[in-house]
Amino acid sequence: MVESISKTQRWLDLIAFLIGHRLPVSVEQIMEAVPSYARDTNSGDDTRAASARRKFERDKDELRDMGIPIETTPYHFDGETETGYRLARGDFYLPYLNLLGGETGASGDTGAAGDAGASEEKPTQPGARTLRIEADELGVALNALRRVSSVPAFPFVGEARSAFRKLTGDLDVEDLEGRVLYAGRPEAEAIRTRLRDLSRALHKRKRVGFRYHGIYRGEATERDVDPYGLFFQGGSWYLTGYDRSREGNRVFRVSRMEDPRVNATSPNTADYEIPADFDLADLMGREAWELGSEEEDPVIARVRFDFPLSLWADRNGHGWLIEPFPDGGALREFEVRQVNPFLRWILTFEGEAQVVAPVELRAELRDLASAVLVLHESDVDPTDG
């Protein structure tokens, strides 16, 4: 079975290849060097090779639409003029920020007379620029970020909060009126304590017992687990290991554990060995809703994807194709082990993906959509229309 390469990975491979070349490269070089294109180009199938070329053209245009400045430029080779592509580092990388204190720059110069705005210095390294920002200008920017960060419906609220934290933390601004702090999760300290206990158990190969609260069914059960690994995925920590009480490997979300207890018997003797064929990487990169912990069968969900989202779902290996439709849409099936993250994922497609079955899952999606609508548009009746 050939491993599927996602569009995001294809984009990153293309960017990495272009940015690694100072001079323009031909489309033939790209077809041979970028893994996704090369696989089809070298397949010996003319149809697949032509498809790879069309895929590159689409990728190039989509990256340009997102602001990645891929240039189409002529170059000379063996006396002929060819068309090549390049990605200049100076155009791609963001400039370094240099906050000026008072009226004097870091090097002691005051700059040109009457220069009240931000200015660019000479590059500190090839392809890099430094953007000089006065303290009062930074205050204006930070206050603007603070205001948009307080609007839940702002589509880039996460990015705004991240930028605010980076600027206030890295640049240590003291004079910003009304400093904003974003608190961590209330259970963060409890999770850190659990992680320390679980890490100790994993290091010493000691069995762990805990009470676990199921995500979907809401049941709390006692577990007795041999820890195989800890990993961070989608903003949450997970433990994977062999569940002795269920006689099988399971994945557990650390925040849903209660009172983890490390086996204190024979503290210097291992309770188990991690199987030689276990690989934590097999769990990495999965969606949150794929990381289940219930011993029962997962929820089997069927989702209709409209065209062209159906193509994206197929190319990225989301679910299994059940039925294609004449309009280009498709019905796909999913094994869902965490319902809430799955429904939130479906909501991100803004109606272009619809849950078809089971009916209980459709009802939960409607309830979740109504709750989100109330939060972000409180003046709109969620039942209207």
- The mean pLDDT of the chain is 76
**Residues 102, 83 within the same domain:** no
User: Is residue 383 assigned to a domain?
Assistant: no
> How is residue 94 annotated by DSSP?
P
How high is the pLDDT of residue 330? 92
**Residues 83, 100 within the same domain:** no
How high is the pLDDT of residue 331? 92
**Residues 330, 308 within the same domain:** yes
Q: How many CA atoms does the CB half-sphere of 119 hold within 13 Å?
A: 12
Q: What's the pTM?
A: 0.43
**Residues 196, 209 within the same domain:** yes
How high is the pLDDT of residue 112? 38
What domain range includes position 196? 188-287
Residue 72: strand pairing partners: 85
How high is the pLDDT of residue 324? 92
**Residues 193, 281 within the same domain:** yes
**Residues 233, 197 within the same domain:** yes
State the total domains in the chain.
4
Boundary-marking domain end, from 91, 125, 141: 91
Rama region for 105: left / alpha / beta (φ>0; ψ in -120 to 50; rest): beta
Q: CA distances (Å), 375 to each of 152, 159, 186, 366, in order?
A: 8, 19, 20, 14
**Residues 53, 84 within the same domain:** yes
User: Is residue 226 assigned to a domain?
Assistant: yes
**Residues 131, 166 within the same domain:** yes
One-letter identity of residue 360: E
The three-state (H, E, C) secondary structure of 73-105, written as one string = EEEEECCEEEEEEECCHHHHCCCEEEEEECCEC
**Residues 12, 84 within the same domain:** yes
Q: Which residues of the chain have pLDDT under 70?
A: 1-4, 89-131, 133, 135, 151-156, 168-188, 214-218, 234-235, 284-285, 288, 292-297, 375-385
How high is the pLDDT of residue 195? 86
**Residues 198, 164 within the same domain:** no
| 3-state class (DSSP) for residue 171 | coil
User: Is residue 381 assigned to a domain?
Assistant: no
Question: What is the tens place of the pLDDT at every residue in 97-126?
Answer: 665 554 444 333 434 333 434 444 444 444
User: Is residue 177 assigned to a domain?
Assistant: no
- Write down how long the chain is: 385
Q: Which residues contact 298 (CB under 8 A, 6 or more apart)?
A: 292, 335, 336, 337
User: Is residue 385 assigned to a domain?
Assistant: no
Residue 237 sits in a domain of what CATH number? 2.30.30
User: Is residue 215 assigned to a domain?
Assistant: yes
Residue 130's φ and ψ, nearest 5 degrees, are -120, 125
**Residues 67, 139 within the same domain:** no
| 3-state class (DSSP) for residue 56 | helix
User: Is residue 274 assigned to a domain?
Assistant: yes
User: Is residue 201 assigned to a domain?
Assistant: yes
Boundary-marking domain end, from 267, 287, 307: 287
Residue 23 sits in a domain of what CATH number? 1.10.10
Please give the Cα distance from 376 to 99 (Å, whole number).
36
**Residues 198, 274 within the same domain:** yes
- Residue 14 in contact with residue 58, Cβ under 8 Å? no
